[in-house]
Amino acid sequence: MTEDPALKLGVGFRSDAPEHADDLTGLPQRQAFFQHLETLCARGHGSLLLCDLDYLKLINDTLGHPAGDAALVEVAGTLRGHLHPGWQAYRLGGDEFAVLAPVDAAQLAGWASAVMAALAARPGRPLRLSAGLAGIMPGSTAQRLLAGVDRRLYAAKRRGRGRLVSDDEGAGAPDHNPRLLERDEALGQLTTRLQAALNTAHGTALVEVRTGRGGGLSAFLQVADRAAQLLGYRTLSIQGNRSRRLRQYGAWATATLDGYPVNGPAGHRPLWMA
């Protein structure tokens, strides 16, 4: 798909000028973002992506603010490095980023998925984004568009984070099924305990788990995986097939590495670990 040069952003405005750049990441900030968003809305064509770096506060609290700053710089660099001509990424503040592109929503969604996968696959410590996206239609206003995309971003957070939401299905609905340990405070405590245990000679930790409605072992293990990944460890989760005979011979129904599927049902290609 080719882009119309007339739809490129930043006409008459230098978003890369020092006075408009974020000190940490070098990305344009809110002033440039809102001006460019108004420009695209006036043209009635383009797409908006809003994304948050998941668990930034937890990274700061457990690994230190330099680690948090490094994560933000990594996200900014990855966004910038994947941009097509005429596209622009912004840091809106804190853990919030945005991308404006003069293309339809489907094209920006494919691009965003590739960026999120690249961050999740980075060596050492994977980073994940929660994101919302929408296309700009004729008659769209900046305020209405921003509110809608922000609603989708928070729907991504409610659905488990680390994902892109580009529709309104369930975007405004309250969460009636809270899961165990999904709050940052609980995850922070678990990460801190795990970090302390790994720094001791015995390498063991006692964690008290109190379940609520919708909680259970599987929910706890999901949070434990995330805590380990925040500390830079890779995690492999395997779920056995219901057939005892298959389990006995080492088959599994599903497997995920660092939270991402690595094979299909039992009988598909084997999983090899380096």
Distance CA 72, CA 85 (A): 23
Q: In this structure, which long-range contacts are made by residues 122-126, counting pairs with CB atoms below 8 Å and at least 24 apart in sequence?
A: 122/74, 124/232, 125/71, 125/229, 125/230, 125/231, 125/232, 126/229, 126/258, 126/259
Using DSSP, state whether 254 is helix, strand or coil: strand
Q: Which residues pair with 267 in a beta bridge?
A: none
Strand-by-strand arrangement of the 96-101 sheet: 88-93, 96-101, 47-53, 129-135, 164-165
Three-class DSSP labels, 2-20: CCCHHHCCCCCCCCCCHHH
| List 95, 104, 150, 225, catalytic entry | 95
User: 95 an active-site residue?
Assistant: yes
Q: 123 Cβ partners below 8 Å, 6+ apart?
A: none
Q: Is the dihedral of CA 246, 247, 253, 254 positive or negative?
A: negative
SS3 189: helix
- List residues with catalytic annotation: 95
